[in-house]
Chains A and B, each alone.
Chain A
């Protein structure tokens, strides 16, 4: 006769232990490889977050055109554009890691809260594995922080404030566009050469983050070359008529006006300054000059003939003659009938760089992508040799100093390149005072 030792409680205990044991490897496996929105099936979704409404809608539309072109090229369509000139040959026109690239779009409205909401929706509802785009530093900083929390990669669009890769930098965020410091460092020697080292500058600065960093950058760079800053006046972002800010400029004894304005602010302040005849005046025995540190061809069009002869800086221009730029302009121009803007260029390049990083890493895992992009050197994307610096995820490349063209041949032919400032001249220490206060942290794969 045998006696069984099985009891109800013993069976339950044994079952629980066995179940936990069996599930243990699965838990470990999933935590080792899973990440937010890991692409399933034969496609991967990217999220293009651009201003589709509001005052920057035209710039957003150009960004979207560039993204669509990049997706077409990644999937093997069109003429391949810059994929043919890119120094990395990891992209083969078969999507990313063999998955067809699809995309969803969001409308930032150039408002931080709206941009975060649209990015969140693309991540949570549409399964976007990477978010990119934008036309404002406020939006870039807000969306970058969101992507860090969500565990997806953020490839910034047009954002020029130092803070994006300075005090607000994040491990999951990358910026190809140049920044305020680089504008100042590139512009100052050209200005000193053109206008001398004995100048009294008056700054009008848009009263928000980008305005502050641009003012600081241009002031530091020009003062280092001998210029004196007479005054720096903040102007409300919502200001439309700048006459009451411009009229006192001559009374101050200034002979140079620096307009730290972008978009509609820049169009109106420059128009008003020219209207007041500042450029016809002679002060301190010098011709009065106006400077616009950050030029955008799309915005310059709004200011019309007022941009003629005015210096500024830009990230890229369609008239560049390197093979990468020519390939991109040919692709974009053939498809849309006009040349791309600098916003379109940076967005197109960011998409290729992300896709390339995934290919090289062999994974869509954000941490693998971060590793592939950090310290990555490349060429053939329109700005010469470029480094994605590991310390702050900022691209370091040549910067263009441009001037409003005197005799434009078309509505797109508004700026001429005065100098291609070499990257060495615009490179700074990661702990430079203008960039202090933040830390990258570590990458977040999410999930």
Chain B
């Protein structure tokens, strides 16, 4: 029982990332009908927003410490962040410590701007082109973006720890009556799960309860009719592209303490996210969220030693296996709408 609860918890944070990325992907597909293979790159750029803010906050001047030497035997140059000069060392340290959560504020405008520029500058030229063209151009864009990041930040992962207050784990098992140390869960993964629920809730509320959201939903259902009513649906869809980029970027920002970011982390998530969207149903926002969490949890179960012993290699194929089964039994995915990508 404790193993099952443990893997459900593990699946939740993994599923949170899948759900957020797939949600952004579905928003873009649902509004603009574009199959965006650069979406993983947006997740990666979000993560590097956190890295960038950390670098800005730790911009330093050097002082010579004559009591210590560097690797060449010269007096050691010690970096002192400018932020210590501005706010004092204690406050400066606290700000740097909280750089990942602060990156949320930093990343939102940047990701919206990147999304809008991407849509206006490149993707809109491919609206009336076949999906294969869209896939090729967005995949090419993804490679360009990751090479740009590699050029500036290198190929190695960059450590980006969570704030001190959220380091370590808590004994969930002991809280609910199991033996100590049977179910442990890191604080930051809990934060990530809660954060994803808030973002998902905010997106649904935005689409459900605002006039803008209502128009967007109407446009998703029948773009032509909404246009005939005199509404500039293209502009709204461009904004939605920006919002989708921001959602995915935020998923990347908050992910960096879980795994140190590197330039190809977007590619690691890209294929999985498409599987999530297909399983959830093309164009279905709630399907994407549901499938994200479901596949995250299933992936965790498939990684259990007992399961691998029984079915060797299952941990590597589980997601694709489930996708095949779902598509065989429900060709439109879990919550797919009739007519979407069926022409």
Contacts and interface: CB of A to CB of B under 8 A. Distances in A.
B262 interface: yes
27 contacts: A54-B155, A56-B155, A240-B259, A240-B265, A243-B10, A244-B11, A244-B300, A248-B6, A251-B2, A251-B3, A264-B157, A267-B157, A267-B260, A268-B157, A271-B260, A275-B168, A275-B188, A280-B168, A299-B156, A301-B156, A302-B157, A302-B158, A303-B260, A329-B72, A333-B71, A338-B71, A412-B71
Contact of A330 (B72, B257, B260): B72
B260 A268 contact: yes
Q: Which of B185, B189, B260, B262 has the most CB of A within 10 A?
A: B260
**Chain B binding surface SS class:** mixed
A440 interface: no
B189 A243 contact: yes
Interface in B279-323: 299-300, 303-305, 308, 315-316
Interface in A307-353: 318-319, 329-330, 333-334, 338-339
Nearest to A252: B305
B182 interface: yes
Contacts of A275: 167-169, 186, 188-189, 257-258
A306 to B, nearest CB: 7
Contact of B6 (A247, A305, A330, A413): A247
A334 B74 CA distance: 11
B235 interface: no
A208 interface: no
Interface of B: 2-3, 6-7, 9-11, 13-14, 68, 70-72, 76, 150, 154-159, 161, 167-169, 181-182, 184-186, 188-189, 257-260, 262, 264-265, 268, 299-300, 303-305, 308, 315-316
Nearest to B74: A333
Contact of B181 (A58, A241, A271, A281): A281
A267 B256 CA distance: 12
Interface stretch (A33-41, A82-90, A230-238, A369-377): A230-238
A330 B70 CA distance: 11
Contacts of B259: 240-241, 267-268, 271-272
**Chain A binding surface SS class:** helix
A374 B2 CA distance: 57
A57 B169 contact: no
A247 B7 contact: yes
Nearest to A207: B316
Contact of B268 (A238, A247, A250, A330): A238
B262 A55 contact: yes
Chain A interface residue count: which class? 35 or more
Contacts of B10: 243-244, 247
A299 B156 CA distance: 7
A414 to B, nearest CB: 11
Given A248-B3, A301-B156, A304-B161, 15 more contacts: A243-B14, A244-B303, A248-B305, A250-B181, A251-B2, A251-B6, A267-B260, A268-B157, A268-B259, A275-B167, A275-B168, A275-B258, A280-B169, A299-B156, A305-B159
Contacts of B260: 267-268, 271, 302-304
Contacts of A339: 71
A190 interface: no
Q: Which of A233, A243, A250, A251 has the most CB of B within 10 A?
A: A243
A181 B246 CA distance: 48
Q: Which of B157, B169, B264, B300 has the most CB of A within 10 A?
A: B157
Interface string A250-279: 110000000000001001100110011100
Nearest to A243: B10
Contacts of B150: 57
Nearest to A54: B155
Nearest to A302: B157
A236 B315 contact: yes
B258 A241 contact: yes
B186 A276 contact: yes
Nearest to A245: B303
Contacts of B258: 241, 271-272, 275
A234 B316 CA distance: 11
B161 A305 contact: yes
Contact of A302 (B159, B188, B304): B159
A211 to B, nearest CB: 14
A199 to B, nearest CB: 17
A264 B267 CA distance: 14
Contact of A240 (B268, B304, B315): B268
